[in-house]
């Protein structure tokens, strides 16, 4: 299926913006993102999961029916995943006039490196691209012992989104933005960088016993790193920059195609 997302043109006021997330309809970051969206357009719609869906990735709910709840004018919840929310928003809630831009977030915690592959925030933007709608994922890096610095995302997101819309970007591509865990005045700037990857085996997995003596496991956050891959989102965030990463929803690694094509030219089962 050919994808055909086109960056919106014309005045910002003409945008129809769909706001969603993976932290749930009542998440503080969603309120921040709604404020961000309303600096761009008055035509803002919110469709988000009823419950937190962090780590849901690009998953669809296939094993049970989904329900849409209207909470207020232009504000809905769905008892499903972020992907479900975007799909139902475009196909059922706004079928006659689809969104021209999808904003997903602002996530509680960064979505840098391989975190992006698990992220429901990024997945919602991915679903938007698959439906032909330009999409941006936004995340606020959070220290484990401190209050999220939502004002940083609120301050920087509007001008960054405006610049992205002015510049435009290709179809099939979603934009992943991460804000560092710094107050606004301490942010050093913006860097457009590649997705980084941490060394394998740095996940924190806790093993404990429940009250009945049975073992259970709890997957925690990534362990802190000292060194980061250069020119990546991991490095940019660690140095106090906002990171912007264009991400392709086509996973094909084109440089490997000729190698495998040659290897299988005369291969017979």
Cβ neighbours for 110, distance < 8 A, ≥ 6 positions apart: 139, 140, 141, 142, 178, 237
The residue length of the chain stands at: 269
Helical (H) or strand (E) element with 238: helix 233-238
Q: In the chain, where are the structural domains located? A: 12-198+226-263
The angle at the Cα of 146, spanning 144 to 147, to the nearest 5 degrees, equals 115
The number of beta carbons lying within 10 Å of the beta carbon of residue 26 is 13
pLDDT of 132 > 90? The answer is yes
pLDDT tens by residue, 46-91: 999 998 878 778 888 899 999 999 999 999 999 999 999 999 999 9
Distance CA 253, CA 201 (A): 24
pLDDT of 5 > 60? The answer is no
* Structure token pair of residue 214: 């049975």
Q: Are 160 and 212 in contact (CB under 8 A)?
A: no
Q: Are 23 and 52 in contact (CB under 8 A)?
A: yes
Split at pLDDT 50, 70, 90, the class of 184 is very high
From 119, 117, 99, 109, select the one nearest 153 (Cα to Cα). 109
Q: 220 or 20, which is more confident?
A: 20
Q: What is the CATH number of domain 12-198+226-263?
A: 3.40.1210.10
Query: What pTM was computed for the model?
Result: 0.91
- Residue identified by tokens 């005369």 is 266
From 120, 68, 129, select the one nearest 102 (Cα to Cα). 129
Question: Alpha helices, DSSP H only, in the chain?
Answer: 28-38, 82-88, 115-118, 120-130, 150-167, 233-238, 257-263
């Amino acid at each position: 299926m050919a994808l055909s997302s086109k960056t919106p043109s014309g005045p910002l006021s003409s945008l129809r913006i769909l706001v969603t997330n993976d932290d749930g309809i009542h998440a503080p970051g969603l309120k921040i993102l709604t404020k961000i969206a309303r600096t761009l357009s008055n035509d803002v719609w919110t469709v988000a999961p009823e419950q937190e869906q962090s780590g849901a990735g690009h998953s669809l709910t296939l094993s049970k029916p989904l329900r849409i709840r209207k909470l207020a004018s232009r504000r809905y919840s769905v008892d499903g995943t972020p992907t479900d929310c975007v799909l139902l928003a475009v196909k059922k809630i706004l079928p006659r006039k689809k969104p021209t831009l999808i904003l997903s977030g602002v996530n509680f915690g960064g979505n840098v490196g391989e975190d992006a592959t698990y992220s429901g925030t990024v997945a919602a933007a991915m679903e938007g691209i698959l439906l032909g709608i330009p999409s941006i994922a936004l995340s606020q890096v959070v220290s484990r012992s401190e209050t999220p610095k939502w004002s940083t995302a609120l301050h920087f997101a509007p001008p960054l989104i405006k610049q992205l819309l002015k510049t435009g970007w290709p179809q099939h591509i979603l934009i992943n933005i991460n804000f560092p865990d710094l107050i606004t005045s301490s942010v050093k700037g913006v860097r457009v960088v590649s997705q980084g990857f941490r060394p394998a085996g740095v996940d924190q997995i806790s093993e404990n016993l429940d009250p009945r003596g049975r073992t259970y496991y709890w997957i925690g956050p990534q362990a802190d790193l000292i060194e980061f891959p250069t020119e990546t989102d991991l490095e940019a965030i660690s140095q106090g920059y906002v990171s912007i990463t264009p991400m392709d929803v086509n996973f094909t690694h084109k440089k490997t195609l000729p190698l495998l094509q040659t290897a299988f030219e005369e291969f017979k089962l």
